[in-house]
Chains A and B, each alone.
Chain A
């Protein structure tokens, strides 16, 4: 009995120690690394540390500090919530350039549209910047550009400005693309990762992990035949129908790209000081993706998506939001996957398939670099 009591005391003291460290880290990020490693591009914890350790303190301002997918503001500089613009940028270095379900150009258009859509905005205009490597075949460039033009046309956005740079052979890998975008915010209320409230429901628009696994299979290193296609898709029309259905009940939208659902939900849990409770059984995953993850020892929840969104909504509108997702072609397999709770703040946990409980952390390290 004595051993039990002292053990319980030790558990408590360790938990307190870990909690103190977590708190300290939440407010100050330690970037110990002396050089950039591929982990810094993973979208997971190392990226987080790099942003918080280098970029955020240098550029700090209220719009950036919200750390949402896009900045929203009014052109007249007032704080009014109506008629805001959304502004975002993203850079694409995916390898290979062409993969099942898409290519770097399509991804560059959809990715930036989606960052605008997650701010509740209708995307209007995009810019595009190309970094081309000496020796890159023009025929491939034409293919990529045609794919971008088609993706933009289908999404109803215009590419209105651009830039091109060429670097020596070996100084880039074929082509890198940057896109930026501007959109008009339709939501006349605050959305974002600081707006989660206990009781909210977590909705996921469809099966996770398709993009990351498609890229993995497209790489030569793995000789596995598969039909997995990237899910790359523009999500703004789905967002528009959600806003129409649920209005102010939508507290946060996020597209779980690099780092997957696990990383996105951890960012929200930290941003709103709440906890996220997930039910593993209810999370849709294509059987092929699940099989690949089993074989490779990966967690589908940390794999990238390019055409899925997470919606955190008030409990009263959860069912209508789910219905609206089901009525949209990009949300047919949507599901309610969890609940927001007050305690323990900043953590995501998962009721596992066999009924156990575990912490779901952000992606650490990088199962696969250059997926977008």
Chain B
């Protein structure tokens, strides 16, 4: 397992060079770009990319962290399932700490529920096969990136006739969320950094409306620091040349037509919900997936009774405004004080991909150093 290839995308000299080109092309013009994907947000903070970019480039962290956009009511539903007798409730690690209206899955576990974290729906499925006398439920979350693996697992469960396994489906789709953001009156964006992994599945065509109807450029980007810096360069170049197009910086992975097999597996097992609530963005039509009726036997929502209540976000929480890019994480009233990664109030503070958690862990200092208050010395040895 050699990771040498990564270094090419992390060359500090090259980063400086591309950043200087961005500065040259954009002049002093303030530009706001949204990275839609939580993975990008994470890379931006982990590598301190904002620190490398010219100051007129402002990155807005969009709704692409699947943990962050899940409304509280769905977490309560998940906990209700997990608490039922005989259930093994499986989930990605990130979800464990997300607060519902009465505690998190981690708290439910401390109170005796059998909650286990897994790395994939297939791991959950294996647990079901190993524990035929227990009901194993997988808490499926994520965009088109993770939905195919849920779909493939469902197909396998059906083919093998495994009945003690079910999916609590919370998969969402990225395009309706981008539409909702573009239709929002608060919007002041100049372009999008498109989600690399999602695009690997859905391809480039679904983004066409952004350029056509909204006259904004999109550049689909990879997840290494230089991928992101280069995609910003490509956005600035488009604007500079008066173009608004859908471009692909991540051509080493993303094909224009997407992954047809993955899309087929999704279409076989799941269909669009008429509407779904997104944390902070409200109800968005056709923005989420549920299991098709032929897979009703594996649908945890049908198999187990869930409260299904809509729970209002805590009043102080401004995750919605953060997700829409209306405010920066640090502008939220409770950021860094009542709401921290150990005591999260909003979902954006829970997942490492969440804009607030990323900002809290990695960004506080760059904000401070910008203000020249902390007298940072260059590191010399």
| A-B interaction | yes
- Inter-chain contacts of B111 with A (CB < 8 A): 35
Q: Which residue of A lies closest to B122 (CB)?
A: A223
Is A160 on the interface with B (CB-CB < 8 A)? no
Q: Which residue of B lies closest to A353 (CB)?
A: B10
Give the CA-CA distance A354 to B3 in the complex, in Å. Answer: 16
Chain B, range 309-351, C-beta contacts under 8 Å to A: 330-331, 335-337, 341-343
Is A351 on the interface with B (CB-CB < 8 A)? yes
- Inter-chain contacts of B12 with A (CB < 8 A): 353-355
Binds A, one of B44-52, B66-74, B139-147: B44-52
Give the CA-CA distance A350 to B11 in the complex, in Å. Answer: 16
Is A188 on the interface with B (CB-CB < 8 A)? no
B48 with A35: CB separation less than 8 A: no
Give the CA-CA distance A329 to B42 in the complex, in Å. Answer: 37
Binds B, one of A36-44, A148-156, A179-187: A36-44
A354 with B364: CB separation less than 8 A: no
Residue-wise interface mask of A (320-355) relative to B, using a CB-CB cutoff of 8 A (1 in contact, 0 not): 000000000000000010110101100101111111
Q: Could you tell me the dominant secondary structure of chain B's interface residues?
A: helix
B15 with A279: CB separation less than 8 A: no
Is A77 on the interface with B (CB-CB < 8 A)? no
A354 with B381: CB separation less than 8 A: no
Chain A, range 9-49, C-beta contacts under 8 Å to B: 10-12, 14-15, 17-18, 21, 30, 32, 35-39, 45-46, 49
Chain B, range 1-23, C-beta contacts under 8 Å to A: 1-4, 6, 10-12, 15-16
Is A282 on the interface with B (CB-CB < 8 A)? yes
B16 with A355: CB separation less than 8 A: yes
Is B362 on the interface with A (CB-CB < 8 A)? yes
Is A137 on the interface with B (CB-CB < 8 A)? no
Is A361 on the interface with B (CB-CB < 8 A)? yes
B365 with A354: CB separation less than 8 A: no
- Inter-chain contacts of B49 with A (CB < 8 A): 354, 356
A370 shortest CB reach to chain B, Å: 13
Binds A, one of B152-160, B196-204, B257-265, B366-374: B366-374
Give the CA-CA distance A21 to B373 in the complex, in Å. Answer: 18
- Inter-chain contacts of B97 with A (CB < 8 A): 39, 365
Q: Which of B16, B42, B331, B342 contacts A45 (CB 8 A)?
A: B342
A37 with B379: CB separation less than 8 A: no
Give the CA-CA distance A351 to B366 in the complex, in Å. Answer: 11
A49 with B342: CB separation less than 8 A: yes
Give the CA-CA distance A296 to B119 in the complex, in Å. Answer: 9
Binds A, one of B102-110, B174-182, B239-247, B279-287: B102-110
Give the CA-CA distance A343 to B377 in the complex, in Å. Answer: 9
B123 with A221: CB separation less than 8 A: yes
- Inter-chain contacts of A56 with B (CB < 8 A): none
Give the CA-CA distance A358 to B365 in the complex, in Å. Answer: 6
Q: Which residue of B lies closest to A18 (CB)?
A: B336
A343 with B362: CB separation less than 8 A: no
Q: Which residue of B lies closest to A15 (CB)?
A: B368
A354 with B341: CB separation less than 8 A: no
- Inter-chain contacts of A38 with B (CB < 8 A): 106, 109
- Inter-chain contacts of A341 with B (CB < 8 A): 377
A355 with B15: CB separation less than 8 A: yes
Is A64 on the interface with B (CB-CB < 8 A)? no
A359 with B361: CB separation less than 8 A: yes
A18 with B337: CB separation less than 8 A: yes
Is B375 on the interface with A (CB-CB < 8 A)? yes
Residue-wise interface mask of A (358-371) relative to B, using a CB-CB cutoff of 8 A (1 in contact, 0 not): 11010011010000
- Inter-chain contacts of A62 with B (CB < 8 A): none
What are 26 of the A-B contact pairs (CB < 8 Å)? A8-B371, A14-B330, A14-B336, A15-B371, A32-B343, A35-B111, A226-B1, A277-B376, A287-B1, A287-B3, A290-B6, A291-B2, A292-B1, A297-B352, A343-B374, A344-B368, A349-B365, A353-B10, A353-B12, A354-B11, A355-B51, A356-B47, A357-B366, A358-B51, A359-B364, A361-B341
Known: A14-B335, A37-B109, A367-B93. 10 other contacts (CB 8 A): A15-B367, A18-B336, A21-B336, A38-B106, A221-B119, A279-B379, A339-B381, A354-B225, A356-B49, A358-B361
The interface of chain B, by Cβ under 8 A from chain A, is 1-4, 6, 10-12, 15-16, 42, 45-52, 93, 96-97, 106-107, 109-111, 118-119, 123, 225-226, 229, 330-331, 335-337, 341-343, 352, 360-371, 373-377, 379-381
4 interchain residue pairs of minimum CB distance: A356-B48, A355-B12, A358-B362, A356-B51
